A and B are shown apart, each in its own frame.
Chain A
Amino acid sequence: MDHRALAQIERDTLATMAGTSWRYWLGLGASVALVAVGGWAWSQALRSGLGVLGLNEPVMWGCLITTFVFFIGVSHSGTLVSAILYFTRSPLRAAIGRSAEAMTVITIMTAGLYPIIHIGRSWLFFFVLAYPNQRQLWPNFRSPLTWDVFAITSYVTVSALFLYMGMLPDLALLSRRVTGWRRPLYRALSLGFSGTDAEWAIFEKAYPIFAGVVIPLAVSVHSVVSWDFAMSVMPGWHSAIFAPYFVAGAIFSGVAMAILLLSGLRRGYGLQAYIKPAHFDLLAKLLLAMSLVMTFTYLTEFFMAAYHGTEAEAEVFRWRATGHYAWVFWLVIFCNSVAPLALFWGRVRASMPALVAVSVLVAVGMWFERFMFIVTTLAHHYLPQAWGNYTPTWTEVLICLGGFGWFFMLFLLFIKIFPSMSVAETMERLHHEAAHPGPAQVGAPEASHG
């Protein structure tokens, strides 16, 4: 591998920053439009109050909290998967690590909006923060909702630092490559990193420490989000399985979103030489494995509800599958348990359109799964006279769509400003593979598809 190969790798991995196609502008324009529509809908809720939403007794948590839990789930797998791939020395990491980490930070930033919107008087959200105040009040540290605030702020901080730390070598290279006002900007952002052996020694020591911090933190965050529900005594929520069930669901939805983002990057920027079919094959197998775990948890929940003899619990689960929201339940089963079974076939895993279709179904299925367990429990809990259904208003739907626009807008801006693949790591990985060719390396050159 000589300087020409290294320069080519740099050019290719920075392709997302160099060119701006009409597809990019179309995607960005659509995202900004969604944000504008969502923002307008939120302004309606701010002006008129939460009455414009479909929330009412007994269903006080609806689409907004569903979207919050969904995005937290998506955020979960990015940094977690990246950190696990780092420890397993997987060649997959060089290809997907950066995008996955960026996805984590952006999705938490998106998820965090929804509880703030949901409280109605959004400008008072800081009441949940722990700081000395004139009211002489402190948050209730025994409440899972307060745990959530600490867990999510810790996770977003550490994930952002993890992402930023990984970008330092690339930002240093960029500062040497760009001209004009961007040069001092990237130089400042690189924090002076210059690639000396001592800096690499520090970097290589810090990275596993950070990855080691991120993994338990990621697991804890989604466990804590699950305890928002499981710490209550509501039927369908009060279950010890909730934390692992949420973690599995989070990885499941996160992998699906990662496949969608990477397939778009790969096709849009001609990164077929770096994001390879073998990478998607591994992601598809992970998606399939998580689908089987999710199916197992669905069955376990139903079995426990039917067998342990608590009437309210059994009724909630019976109603989920046969009641007002049965269509949601069966949609979830189809998207999360049935459709991913197609990934048992190698031809489906090798076909980008098929893999993208399954990933879209999983993303849809996971959003509705969050909706299902939140709404069906609230709508149909202990007292029959308190039962009531929930239908989201257009305002809620538009606020939720605005969140998706916000997510895609930030991601598209990220890949335009920062490298979407690790330049240094890709160089090192390809150099290693050139020096140690193996018969079945995931990163080995091969024919591309899609």
Chain B
Amino acid sequence: MAEPLVATFADPDAAARALTALQEAQVRGVRVVSPAPFPAVHLTGRPGAWRLLGKVALLGGLTGLAGGAALQAVTSESLGLVVGGKPILAWPAFGVIMFELTMLFAGASTFAALVIMSALARRRVAAAARRRMDSEHLVVVVPAAELDGPRGAAVRRALAGAGTEVRP
């Protein structure tokens, strides 16, 4: 199986220039690995299912809201104890805990989704390429399918022109 081309950059701006050049050469499937959210990480079309996160947070929040309502309603009914003259089902009073659990579940589900989605997303970049990233280096990965023939030469020219150390 052909290996992807891994280019290492010591300068975030050089990586951004390389990615722009690759975009202009219509090279597809390029990925970047970066120690910080430099502009280069936004030049690959933001791949992955990150758009789902908002829906996950909403679903988590609604679960917390429903869970908070159910917890208070069911347990208050089962206990049946009147306190302070308030009705057994005191919805205005229950609102506080419903709100807190809405926020708790929205936050926790967002975090869980972040962990799971990140684990799935990183698998699409070769582990060897990911390992080359550190605080001083960004890594640009070009898929093997884009390296054949004249397109491969264009890729190497674009990367070398931006000032990279190209590794097979």
Contacts and interface: CB of A to CB of B under 8 A. Distances in A.
A224 interface: yes
Given A130-B71, A146-B97, A198 B111 contact: no
Given A191-B115, A213-B57, A3 B86 contact: no
A6 B103 contact: no
Interface in A161-185: 161-162, 164-165, 169, 173, 176-177
Contact of A138 (B76, B103, B118): B76
Interface string A348-390: 0000000000000000000000000000000000000000000
A1 interface: yes
**Of listed A161, A192, A198, A423, residue having the most chain B CB within 10 A:** A198
B53 A202 contact: yes
B86 A142 contact: yes
A311 interface: no
A200 interface: yes
A41 B93 CA distance: 37
B101 to A, nearest CB: 7
14 contacts: A144-B96, A161-B108, A192-B122, A194-B133, A195-B35, A196-B125, A197-B46, A198-B46, A201-B50, A203-B118, A205-B54, A217-B100, A424-B36, A427-B135
Shortest beta-carbon contacts, A-B, top 10: A198-B48, A3-B10, A198-B121, A3-B136, A427-B36, A154-B104, A158-B107, A138-B75, A424-B36, A10-B135
A137 B78 CA distance: 9
Contact of A202 (B38, B57, B86, B118): B118
Given A173-B135, A177-B135, A197 B50 contact: no
B113 interface: yes
Interface string B58-78: 000000000000011001101
Contacts of A9: 135
B153 interface: no
Given A165-B114, A213-B106, A423-B35, 8 more contacts: A3-B10, A161-B107, A161-B111, A192-B122, A196-B121, A197-B31, A197-B44, A199-B48
Contacts of A206: 53, 110-111, 113-114
B164 interface: no
A259 to B, nearest CB: 27
Contacts of A137: 79
A141 B93 contact: yes
A165 B119 contact: no
B167 interface: no
A220 interface: yes
Given A202-B117, A205-B50, A424-B36, A194 B76 contact: no
A96 interface: no
Contacts of B57: 209, 213
A173 B36 CA distance: 10
A425 interface: yes
B32 interface: yes
Contacts of A169: 35-36
A6 B71 CA distance: 51
Contacts of A440: none
Q: How large is the interface on A (under 10, 10 to 19, 20 to 34, 35 or more residues)?
A: 35 or more
A86 interface: no
A142 B84 contact: yes
A224 B122 CA distance: 41
Contacts of A151: 96, 100
Contacts of A435: 13
A140 interface: yes
Contacts of A285: none
A247 to B, nearest CB: 15
B37 interface: yes
Contacts of A140: 81, 83
Nearest to B140: A197
B13 A196 contact: no
A9 B47 CA distance: 28
B38 to A, nearest CB: 6
A138 B100 CA distance: 18
A140 B97 CA distance: 12
Given A143-B83, A161-B111, A150 B96 contact: yes
Contact of B107 (A176, A199, A200, A214): A214
Given A141-B72, A141-B75, A196 B111 contact: no
Contacts of B72: 141
Contact of B11 (A2, A7, A162, A209): A2
Interface string A337-350: 00000000000000
Contact of A158 (B33, B104, B121): B104
B17 interface: no
B107 A162 contact: yes
A213 B107 contact: yes
B109 to A, nearest CB: 10
B8 to A, nearest CB: 10
B136 A7 contact: yes
Contacts of A224: 96, 100
B134 A173 contact: yes
Contacts of B44: 197
Given A202-B118, A217-B100, A194 B37 contact: no
